[in-house]
Amino acid sequence: MNAIAELLSDFEVLDDWEDRYRHVIELGRDLAPLPDEDHTPENKVRGCASQVWITSHGSGPADDPVLTFVGDSDALIVKGLVAIAFMIFSGQTARTIVATDAAPILDKLGLKDHLTPQRSNGFASMIQRIKSDAAAALQASSNSGTAGR
């Protein structure tokens, strides 16, 4: 959560929402690139007006893997929102991701009040996708644990 604390601190310094939007766009520009071969229909987030792709990779213990996410969008502000979602969830265990409520963090950032309804819905779809990937990782680990029984 250090990245979120830093983002909250940055937002406190930036009084004007124009400056905050520019900062969100910069966050998107700093995202690790998503390889072209990962821009697939399977990786596309449904429910976003802009095109958004997210992939997840697990590592660590099979019963609660740590997930890292890589993503992209065709819209600069949305790519910044992808970066914020990754600040909240990437590098966390699957159980933590499933249990984390992003709403209080988004409230502190003030994003809910300053995004269009379409972007808010798209951001919710991104979070739902991230949580779905985490739930799938947990399900896969529980299935592999019972396969030999």
Question: Using CA atoms, how far apart are residues 104 and 90, in angstroms rounded to an integer?
Answer: 17
* Helix boundaries (H) for 50-116: 76-89, 94-99, 103-109, 111-114
**Rounded distance between C-alpha atoms, residue 81 and residue 106, angstroms:** 11
On the CB side of 16, CA atoms within 13 Å amount to 3
Is 48 noted as a catalytic residue in this protein? yes
Helix (H), strand (E) at residue 60: none
* Residue of 34, 48, 85, 130 marked catalytic: 48
By annotation, the residues acting in catalysis are 48
